[in-house]
Amino acid sequence: MIKPRFSGLAAFSAVTAMLALPIFSAQAADLSGIVSGTQKETASMPLSGDRVAKRMRFKLTVVTDDAENPFNLASQECMATYVFSKDGAPLGGHGYCDGINAAGDIWWIRVELGSDGMVTWTHLGGTGELGNYDAGGTTTTLAQFEDGKMIARFEGTMTKK
């Protein structure tokens, strides 16, 4: 069964959106694609004010719209702590991801969950061809399943430094 558009846990996906960045030009390039994989709540902690913090782990595959993109068919893992209201509405949170592309280069991104359920991501750096770019964007959860699988769409831009 598909859960509502945002149940509070898949927001991390936005982070992954960054991975589909074309790096062929010094001008900002549009990027888009899909991330899919699993999400798992590793801990839940009650907070003051009837809020709850949930530590989440994501294991994802990145598929870009442009098959020639260096981030296409990459593996990404994320850890994040998100805060939710007692009824499950997202209130915010932060985390980090790393990804490894098919050429063996790594990148790091930071993610932030907004109260609207949108995840914003920012490229922090990387190795090889992935190390010299400014990049960022957003990720929107498309589907979450009861078995922990999820699918998200990412959009963003990348500019060579």
Is the Cβ–Cβ distance between 23 and 142 less than 8 Å? no
22 has a pLDDT exceeding 70: no
| Tokens 């994040």, located at residue | 80
Digit-coded pLDDT (tens) for 28-78: 887 789 999 999 999 999 999 999 999 999 999 999 898 888 788 899 999
Q: Kindly report the CATH number assigned to the domain that includes residue 134.
A: 2.40.350.10
Report the domain count for the chain. 1
Asked if the structure places residue 134 within a domain, the reply is yes
Digit-coded pLDDT (tens) for 92-104: 999 999 999 988 9
Asked if the structure places residue 74 within a domain, the reply is yes
Asked if the structure places residue 20 within a domain, the reply is yes
- Helix, strand, or coil (residue 129): helix
Asked if the structure places residue 4 within a domain, the reply is no
Asked if the structure places residue 1 within a domain, the reply is no
Residue 18 is predicted with a pLDDT of 40
25 has a pLDDT exceeding 70: no
Asked if the structure places residue 3 within a domain, the reply is no
152 has a pLDDT exceeding 90: yes
Strands 149-160 and 133-144: antiparallel
pTM score: 0.82
For the chain, what is the mean pLDDT? 85
Q: Which residue has the higher pLDDT, 21 or 117?
A: 117
**φ, ψ at 14 (rounded to 5°):** -55, -35
- Determine the average pLDDT of the residues in 9-26: 43
Asked if the structure places residue 5 within a domain, the reply is no
**φ, ψ at 49 (rounded to 5°):** 70, 30
Question: Residue 66 is part of which domain span?
Answer: 10-160
